[in-house]
């Protein structure tokens, strides 16, 4: 199982001791034990998932949409900025699609996917043989040892710069993907979807001050030809699933417009 590749990166969410894996169970010296689910993931959240965590339906929609290759330019851009990583952590990994794409391009690397949704962690556990998956909350603190990740990924997910810096090796990279103002503009206008703040990139850069140094920024823009089924999955796979919007009846040509921001943890 993929979890065996990354178990040594994990710490007990109860006492902070290092975890080891034995017969599908993670355990620490203090005696806390966390059983691996039959789907392959381990729940290290320690409480019920929040109400806004991705549901099973949202995760299924995301798996269908990403499986269609619609966001492949993001995977390509991530791989274009990563060189010979050993250990990669993706926070808010969802289905593990992006991390799996990076692992495919780097055969010597292992990856850990974290997400607050048990349904997402379940799906990510099967996304790649060198990927382990745990349920964890980025805001509450990740159950990951300090200074172990060569690369941290955060794609359309909540960000905790201090926590990302803690788990990253000195000189390691943080790659963040955020939507630009024009991302999915046609779908947002036609269906009444949630808007995007126009200062998103500047707020991201300000949030990293003191934790990371900005080293690269790249706009990625392409056009999606979506049929009705793919468009419905696009709407249902994210926060719009929790909000009122118009019904999807037809396909649509949609602009994808995102920003890849690369940061480095200072070596000193």
Residue 91: which CATH number? Answer: 3.40.50.150
pLDDT score, position 41: 96
Give the CA distances from residue 121 to residues 55, 81, 263, in Å, rounded to whole numbers and listed in that order. Answer: 11, 26, 26
- Please report, rounded to a whole number, the percentage of residues in the chain having pLDDT higher than 70: 100
Q: Does any domain span residue 166?
A: yes
Q: What is the pLDDT of residues 90-130, one digit of tens each?
A: 999 999 999 999 999 999 999 999 999 999 999 999 999 99
Alpha-carbon distance of 137 to 117, in angstroms, equals 9
Q: Does any domain span residue 30?
A: no
For 110, the domain range is: 40-264
pLDDT score, position 197: 81
Alpha-carbon distance of 99 to 95, in angstroms, equals 9
pTM of the model: 0.96
Q: Does any domain span residue 25?
A: no
Statement: residue 259 has pLDDT above 80: yes
pLDDT score, position 246: 87
pLDDT score, position 1: 63
Q: Does any domain span residue 33?
A: no
Q: Does any domain span residue 194?
A: yes
**What is the number of domains present in the chain?**
1
Q: Does any domain span residue 22?
A: no
Alpha-carbon distance of 135 to 138, in angstroms, equals 10
Q: Does any domain span residue 15?
A: no
Q: What is the pLDDT of residues 135-192, one digit of tens each?
A: 999 999 999 999 999 999 999 999 999 999 999 999 999 999 999 999 999 999 999 8
Q: Does any domain span residue 27?
A: no
């Amino acid at each position: 199982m993929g979890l065996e590749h990354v178990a040594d990166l994990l710490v007990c969410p109860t006492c902070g001791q290092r975890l080891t894996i034995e017969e599908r169970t993670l355990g620490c010296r203090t005696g806390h034990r966390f059983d691996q689910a039959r789907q392959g993931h381990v729940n290290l959240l320690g409480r019920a998932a929040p109400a806004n965590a991705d549901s099973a339906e949202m995760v299924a929609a995301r798996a269908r949409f990403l499986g269609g290759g619609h966001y492949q330019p993001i995977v390509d851009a991530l791989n274009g900025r990563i060189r010979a990583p050993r250990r990669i952590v993706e926070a808010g990994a969802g289905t593990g699609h992006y991390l799996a794409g990076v692992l495919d391009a780097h055969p010597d690397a292992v990856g850990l996917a974290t997400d607050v949704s048990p349904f997402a962690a379940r799906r990510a556990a099967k996304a790649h043989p060198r990927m382990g998956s745990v349920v964890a909350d980025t805001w509450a603190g990740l159950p990951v040892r300090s200074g172990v990740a060569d690369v941290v990924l955060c794609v359309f997910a909540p960000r905790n710069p201090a926590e990302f810096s803690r788990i990253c090796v000195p000189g390691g990279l943080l790659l963040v993907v955020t939507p630009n103002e024009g991302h999915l503009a046609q779908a947002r206008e036609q269906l009444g979807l949630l808007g995007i703040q126009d200062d998103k990139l500047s707020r991201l850069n300000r949030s990293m001050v003191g934790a990371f140094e900005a080293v690269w920024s790249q706009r990625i823009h392409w056009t999606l030809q979506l049929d009705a089924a793919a468009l419905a999955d696009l709407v249902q796979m994210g926060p719009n699933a929790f909000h009122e919007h118009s019904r999807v009846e037809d396909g649509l040509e949609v602009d994808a417009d995102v920003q890849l921001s690369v940061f480095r943890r200072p070596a000193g």
